[in-house]
Amino acid sequence: MNIEITPQTLVGSVNAVASKSHAHRLLIAAALSKRPAEVSIRTTSQDIEATRACLKQLKAGIPVLDCGESGSTLRFLLPVIMALKEEAIFLGSGRLPQRPISPLKEEMEAHGCSFSNKHRTKGTAQEICHIKGRLQGGLFTLPGNVSSQYITGLLFALPLLEKDSWIQITSPLESRSYVDLTLDVLKNFQIDIYTEEKEGLLTFKVKGRQQYIPPENLEAEGDWSNMAFWVAAGVLSKESGIIGRGVNLKSIQGDRAILSLTRRMGGEIQEKGDSFLALARPLHGIHIDASAIPDLVPILSVMAAAAKGTTCIHHAERLRIKESDRLAAMYDCLSRVGVDLAEQPGGLTIRGGSPIKGGRVSGYNDHRIVMAMAIASVVSEGPIIIEGAEAVNKSYPGFWDDFKYLGGEYREL
């Protein structure tokens, strides 16, 4: 679906969609529980449905897990499934079969699993790996700068094993808030993980033969990763701002940092209860370390384009292996609408303050690229055409409905 957006100020209130980061974790923990547990998820998405569908395969003798395009689903469930099964097949679509699973793969191989790939297909899905051998406990070593999702997958799996285990992180842990979110969910399911930090490096000690025991109430939080787009729309709009409802203002979610980053850029955020108000204010450029908040880079790049002065985004190397190469994608999209910026191996330098002129851009089959460029229309001088606008379904199927409700105007081409 290609759409043409007519520049309009956005104003009003919007309800948060469910955090897929939180929902993935709650669904997995609930599925591993000894007694039935019901998870309340206010909205769903392609990624959440991928995890839900894969967990139904727990009852199969040889599970065939179609992870769709969800990297979280794949990386979380690789060790979890092999803690329970002797054999499993993992499938994926889009860029997922090409996205890395190392060094998790090598650690699992060192602990009883063998990987192969016969390149089978099922509809649009391609085989990612065929694994044989039950995962065994022991010492796992992983770098902290590759993917926190590998650590999360092991933290879910290792309590199920017979032996005790240790996860040793060999370099400072980036995206630590995602691991903290995992630990919080595990704690609520009465899983004990001992965390030791020495000279900036973490070791997680995990006793085997634990049981997942669910709490009474399980509800996925509102999603800060997607609410960030409305924070940006509020501070970029020219009228009375945008109210976001249904969020935890003290959430462990790392992307709650959109509030502090917006304030650093000069925006005004008012907080009350489970809501915030984002108000239009002149923005200025800042330096942003994206190591802990990679998913915010697309929308922060749009905010930087509208801000006076230069914004430098660095430590964002991992964005090159997301649904798209997000650094290259944002460089291309913003260049096409007249923004002055430069791309580096690990980031972007954006010289803001000049008008955004409008133009035609690719959505790169990436939900966050599409939503970022939709918000860019708020400060654009001319229409923005986005190719592949349906990519929002991956995390936020109702995005275009909310965009229109807040005053946005678009038409399908």
Task: Tell me the pLDDT tens digit for each residue of 58-82.
Answer: 999 999 999 999 999 999 999 999 9
**Residue 270: other Cβ atoms inside 10 A:** 11
Question: Exposed (0-12), middle (13-18) or buried (19+): which is 40, by Cβ within 10 Å?
Answer: exposed
Compute the distance between CA of residue 187 and CA of residue 192 in angstroms, rounded to an integer.
6
Q: What is the pLDDT of residue 167?
A: 97
Across all residues in the chain, what is the average pLDDT?
96
User: What's the distance, CA 203 to chain centroid?
Assistant: 24
Q: Give the mean pLDDT of 94-111.
A: 95
Does residue 234 carry a pLDDT above 90?
A: yes
Q: What is the pLDDT of residue 1?
A: 94
Q: Give the mean pLDDT of 273-277.
A: 96
Residues within the annotated binding site?
20-21, 25, 71, 99, 147-149, 175, 295, 322, 326, 368, 394
Q: What is the pLDDT of residue 336?
A: 97
Task: Classify residue 266 as left (phi > 0), alpha (psi -120 to 50) or beta.
Answer: left
Does residue 37 carry a pLDDT above 80?
A: yes
Q: Which residue out of 66, 255, 295, 402 is catalytically annotated?
A: 295
pLDDT bin (cut points 50, 70, 90) of residue 260 is very high
In terms of Cα–Cα distance, which of 387, 382, 335, 348 is closest to 366?
Answer: 387
Does residue 295 carry a pLDDT above 80?
A: yes
Q: Is-contact 411 385, C-beta < 8 A?
A: no
Q: What is the pLDDT of residue 254?
A: 94
Q: What is the pLDDT of residue 175?
A: 87
Question: Exposed (0-12), middle (13-18) or buried (19+): which is 217, by Cβ within 10 Å?
Answer: exposed
Q: What is the pLDDT of residue 289?
A: 96
Q: What is the pLDDT of residue 239?
A: 73
Active site annotation includes 274: no
* Residue 356 DSSP label: B
Ordered domains of the chain (ranges, CATH): 3-17+222-412 (3.65.10.10), 20-205 (3.65.10.10)
Residue-wise pLDDT for 325-356, tens only, equals: 999 999 999 999 999 999 999 999 999 988 89
Contacts of 9 (CB under 8 A, 6+ apart): 237, 238, 239, 378, 407
Compute the distance between CA of residue 354 and CA of residue 59 in angstroms, rounded to an integer.
57
Contacts of 405 (CB under 8 A, 6+ apart): 12, 14
Q: pLDDT > 70: what percent of the chain?
A: 100
Q: What is the pLDDT of residue 201?
A: 93
Does residue 228 carry a pLDDT above 80?
A: yes
Does residue 369 carry a pLDDT above 80?
A: yes
Q: What is the pLDDT of residue 118?
A: 86
Task: Classify residue 367 as left (phi > 0), alpha (psi -120 to 50) or beta.
Answer: alpha
Q: Among the listed ranges 39-43, 238-242, 363-367, which one has the minimum average pLDDT value?
A: 238-242
Residues within the annotated binding site for 3-phosphoshikimate?
20-21, 25, 147-149, 175, 295, 322
Residue-wise pLDDT for 133-189, tens only, equals: 999 999 999 999 888 999 999 999 999 999 999 999 999 998 899 999 999 999 999
pLDDT bin (cut points 50, 70, 90) of residue 117 is very high
